[in-house]
């Protein structure tokens, strides 16, 4: 899987800029077409309707403006003349109605380009076309009524070149509509050399999409920053709790160690266990006249039939590590040091 991704990245990096530009342009055109289809028909009609129209009459450009559904000549159009919509003569356009599947605006143009030589007398290389779609069918996936308009490519290119020589660059080219608007747009089938296509909606989308992308990136960055700050606050809060838990654990460990030491010390210093062990170790005919125990050392003095055997008996208890006998005349005497327990 990783090798396949590396091959795709390598192929993308090795692609020349012209091919890459065409690919990006097709993708952008498809995106604009899909987004344009989401715009309500009423809004799309108002946005696509130019304010000024130009027609070539008698070898000269003549400007018109649509007012209340009627076309009125304009004497001095001013700066708006440079972006007027071209009105082509009806005799230069072939219009036909068909029942046709309409998946989406972009797919519709692609399908019509493949079927153009079957539906019209022209091929896609020698003609430009545009289509208007009727209402959606009741049954999902059914056919829709479309109006297909076809114009010779060379005729449209000649008219556009004529107007460009006079400083006029039409934003669209189509037929005069009965409602005072423009039907169809043949400039979509021309290679405009980098000029924006799709009318005002396309231009607005091409300007707005990068802004939306940047805004989305900014929102993503802000969201990540906010999430990171929230996570940092949560980590800081958890760190404070962990510090408190560790401090409490250290206190518990210290208290447990202190109690262990206290119990061990109490066990070492208790005289009763030592006295009981000495009593069990000495014979019945042996008795002590002195018993001193401070928790660490033992001083034992007494009488016994065999005084020299007493130190060995005391050492055999296992409570003392050193037993030193002392001369006490007729009796016995000794000192012993308690064992240090771990």
**What is each CA distance from 60 to 70, 109, 162, 165, in whole angstroms?**
21, 33, 9, 11
Give 171-222 pLDDT, tens digit per residue: 888 888 777 778 888 887 775 433 444 445 555 656 666 777 788 888 888 8
Q: What is the mean pLDDT of the chain?
A: 77
pLDDT exceeds cutoff 50 at 155: yes
C-alpha–C-alpha distance, residues 288 and 20, integer Å: 110
Of 128-132, 155-159, 203-207, 316-320, least confident by mean pLDDT is 203-207
Answer yes or no: are the C-beta atoms of 116 and 124 closer than 8 Å. Answer: yes
Give the pLDDT score at 30. 64
Give 78-107 pLDDT, tens digit per residue: 776 667 888 899 898 999 888 888 777 667
pLDDT exceeds cutoff 70 at 288: yes
pLDDT exceeds cutoff 80 at 141: no
pLDDT cut 90: percent of the chain above it: 5
Within 8 A by CB and 6+ apart from 335, the residues are: 297, 298, 299, 300, 323, 324, 326
The pairing of beta strand 60-67 with beta strand 70-74: antiparallel
pLDDT exceeds cutoff 60 at 228: yes
pTM of the predicted model, to two decimals? 0.45
Give the pLDDT score at 196. 40
Give 15-53 pLDDT, tens digit per residue: 566 666 667 766 666 666 666 555 554 454 454 566 788
Query: How does residue 149 score in pLDDT terms, banded at 50, 70 and 90?
Result: very high
């Amino acid at each position: 899987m990783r090798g396949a991704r590396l091959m795709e990245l390598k192929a993308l990096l090795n692609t020349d800029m012209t091919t890459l530009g065409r690919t990006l342009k097709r993708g952008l055109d498809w995106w604009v077409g899909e987004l344009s289809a989401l715009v309500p028909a009423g809004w799309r009609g108002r946005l696509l309707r130019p304010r000024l129209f130009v027609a070539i009459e008698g070898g000269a450009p003549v400007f018109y403006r649509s007012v209340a559904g009627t076309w009125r000549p304009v004497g001095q159009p001013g700066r708006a003349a440079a972006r007027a919509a071209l009105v082509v003569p009806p005799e230069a356009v072939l219009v036909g109605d068909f029942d046709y599947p309409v998946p989406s605006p972009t797919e519709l143009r692609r399908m019509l380009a493949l079927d153009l030589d079957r539906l019209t007398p022209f091929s896609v290389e020698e003609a430009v076309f545009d289509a208007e779609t009727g209402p959606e069918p009741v049954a999902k996936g059914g056919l829709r009524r479309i109006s297909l308009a076809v114009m010779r490519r060379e005729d449209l290119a000649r008219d556009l070149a004529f107007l460009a020589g006079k400083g006029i660059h039409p934003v669209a080219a189509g037929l005069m509509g009965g409602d005072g608007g423009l039907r169809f747009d043949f400039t979509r089938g021309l290679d405009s050399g980098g000029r924006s296509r799709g009318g005002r909606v396309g231009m607005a989308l091409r300007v707005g999409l990068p802004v939306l992308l940047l805004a989305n990136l900014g929102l993503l960055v802000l969201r990540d920053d906010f999430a990171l700050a929230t996570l940092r606050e949560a980590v800081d809060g958890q760190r404070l709790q962990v510090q408190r838990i560790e401090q409490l654990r250290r206190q518990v460990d210290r208290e447990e160690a202190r109690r262990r030491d206290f119990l061990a010390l109490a066990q070492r210093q208790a005289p009763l266990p030592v006295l009981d062990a000495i009593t069990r170790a000495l014979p019945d005919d042996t008795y002590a006249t002195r018993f001193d125990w401070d928790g660490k050392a033992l001083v034992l003095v007494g009488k016994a039939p065999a005084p020299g055997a007493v130190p060995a008996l005391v050492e055999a208890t296992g409570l003392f590590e050193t037993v030193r006998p002392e001369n006490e005349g007729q009796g016995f005497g000794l000192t012993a040091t308690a064992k240090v327990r771990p």
